[in-house]
A and B are shown apart, each in its own frame.
Chain A
Amino acid sequence: MPVVKLKKYRSIANRSLQNVLSYRFSYVVTFLSNAINLLAVYFLWAGIYGGRETVGGYTWDQMKTYLLVTFLANSVLSWYSETAISGKILDGSVAVDLLKPIDFQTARFSETLGTSLLEGGISTIILVIFSFFISGLALPHSALVYVLFALSLLGAIAVKFGVVYLAALLCFWSTGSMGIVWTRIALTNLLSGALVPLAFFPGWLERTALLLPFQSIIHTPTMIFLEQAGTLESLKLIGIQCFWGAALWIAGKFMWNWAVRQVTIHGG
């Protein structure tokens, strides 16, 4: 049975990949928006570093690398996942999913992985092109770091999915999604280190952020890629990602069981 089961979810992942391909225009525009945002942030940081050697323990070369890694980690899991799950709950199509003999959470995760594959691939290509034009990037030299980095990106996907999924289930309780989505994005951006490295925070905020799951999404991959964490510490960080990924997954299961009892579907 397990093989048959896996096949089911693989075909869901495949379907969502094709979905992105057929709505390329939206995807391209969203991607462009992100790229513009990256440029804005890049020039802002260039201004911040104007005439300064290091800020918050980061050199300008490290910061450039940090921004690119953040961009990659963010775009690996973006377009589909931000609103699609809550959308399903709000427009009532979750009712159909309830009838299907598949696990809702696993199915959504497969969909997310399907789109992540494509988005991650395209982002990587664009970043490689982009990096040719930027001098002095702090790229790691050992192959081990790249392997660990790839692992940490997978961990980041798992954790981010957990956060997105839990937030989406809240929509069973509210009637609109935008508020919840915005709050989630704002909190994730700040506490994951997407806006500014956690090392910039005042001590108490940094300590708090490190205790929360958000840091696994951006902070961990950047620490590994910038070689600010040794091999052992990198493995520990990936372990923390696994912990959060699993914890959020289980929390998602519990919350789903509670949430489906709240389901109110308007019309048909």
Chain B
Amino acid sequence: MTLSRMFYLYKRLYIQQLKAILEYNKDFYILMCSAALTQVLGFVFLWVIYDRIPDINGWQFWEVTFMYAMIFLTEGMGSLFFEGTWRLGRLVNQGELDRYLLRPVPVVLQVFCTGIGINGLGNLLIGGVIIWQSLVHSHIQWSFAKVVILILLLLTAVIIRVSINLAGNSAAFWIRNAGNAFPLMVHNLADLAKYPVTLFPQAVRVFISTVLPYAFISFYPATYIFGKSGWSGWWMLAPVVAAGSAAAAYGIFRYGLSKYESTGN
């Protein structure tokens, strides 16, 4: 199947979901606002702390807010365009995946389009504003190359995030009826990357740079953007990490799928 065909199918499936979600528009607004509010309150937390102290471990306010917002922004992208990964548990437990297996469309594509998390729009909006403000308030020497690299890093960040979501939710193939508890735990580990990894012990740093590479979403891009010496060059690994996590997540998903036995009802 060609890439353009994939995009076409994705678009068609996505629009169908969009129609469904627009039916319940009260929910739509509540979800969007609550996601935005959650993020704003987290921002208030940082603001309250920085009101008392000038820096944490050498990191300034707007540098930390950048990392914080990157985590939320990628979460928003994940919810808005790949929410289906979170429905995988239900698809497996209720045997609904059978339907997907019968269609001549890649299963992972159908899973992606199983739903739309409209809350992502709130995250995207507030996350975007905070990132923009962070960039404006920090004295950055802009160049064409820097802009291109920033966009590249945003892209790899989204890929990494979605890959981890897919891998985490694939646990549903092994753990029956556990609800979303396990993927949620994986998801919550992203909290560690909201702050500079230098705060954490070595083991945690290695963990969020390799096993669950959340640090490549927030910390390593920040070291590049804000020109932190001592970490220069590390961001170049981001595309490698993105490709690696995408491949690993797809591998885990395929392996899980091969273990899938329908619920039989």
A39-B49 Cα distance, complex, nearest whole Å: 18
Chain B residues in 8 Å Cβ range of A201: 48
Interface mask (A193-208 → B, CB under 8 Å = 1, otherwise 0): 0011000111000000
B37 within 8 A of A: yes
A121 within 8 A of B: no
When the two chains form their complex, are residues A187 and B188 in contact, meaning their CB atoms are under 8 A apart?
no
Closest B residue to A34 by beta carbon equals B188
B17 within 8 A of A: no
When the two chains form their complex, are residues A47 and B199 in contact, meaning their CB atoms are under 8 A apart?
yes
CB proximity of A253 to chain B, nearest CB, Å: 25
Number of interface residues of A (CB under 8 A): 37
When the two chains form their complex, are residues A180 and B34 in contact, meaning their CB atoms are under 8 A apart?
yes
- Among B30, B51, B52, B199, contact of A43 (Cβ-Cβ < 8 Å): B199
Interface mask (A22-55 → B, CB under 8 Å = 1, otherwise 0): 0001100110110011011001101110101001
Number of interface residues of B (CB under 8 A): 42
A190-B44 Cα distance, complex, nearest whole Å: 9
What does DSSP make chain B's interface, helix, strand, loop or mixed? Answer: helix
B41 within 8 A of A: yes
When the two chains form their complex, are residues A179 and B49 in contact, meaning their CB atoms are under 8 A apart?
no
CB proximity of A68 to chain B, nearest CB, Å: 18
A202-B182 Cα distance, complex, nearest whole Å: 38
When the two chains form their complex, are residues A48 and B27 in contact, meaning their CB atoms are under 8 A apart?
no
When the two chains form their complex, are residues B26 and A175 in contact, meaning their CB atoms are under 8 A apart?
yes
- Among B49, B185, B200, contact of A200 (Cβ-Cβ < 8 Å): B49
Closest A residue to B29 by beta carbon equals A179
A37-B35 Cα distance, complex, nearest whole Å: 19
A56 within 8 A of B: yes
Closest A residue to B44 by beta carbon equals A190
A36-B182 Cα distance, complex, nearest whole Å: 13
When the two chains form their complex, are residues B56 and A186 in contact, meaning their CB atoms are under 8 A apart?
no
When the two chains form their complex, are residues A44 and B181 in contact, meaning their CB atoms are under 8 A apart?
no
When the two chains form their complex, are residues A33 and B26 in contact, meaning their CB atoms are under 8 A apart?
no
Chain B residues in 8 Å Cβ range of A56: 52
| Contact flag A55-B31 (CB < 8 Å), given A29-B178, A40-B191, A187-B41 | no
When the two chains form their complex, are residues B37 and A176 in contact, meaning their CB atoms are under 8 A apart?
no
When the two chains form their complex, are residues A179 and B34 in contact, meaning their CB atoms are under 8 A apart?
yes
Chain A residues in 8 Å Cβ range of B41: 186-187, 189-190, 195
Q: Which has the most chain B C-beta neighbours within 10 Å: A26, A44, A48, A201?
A: A44
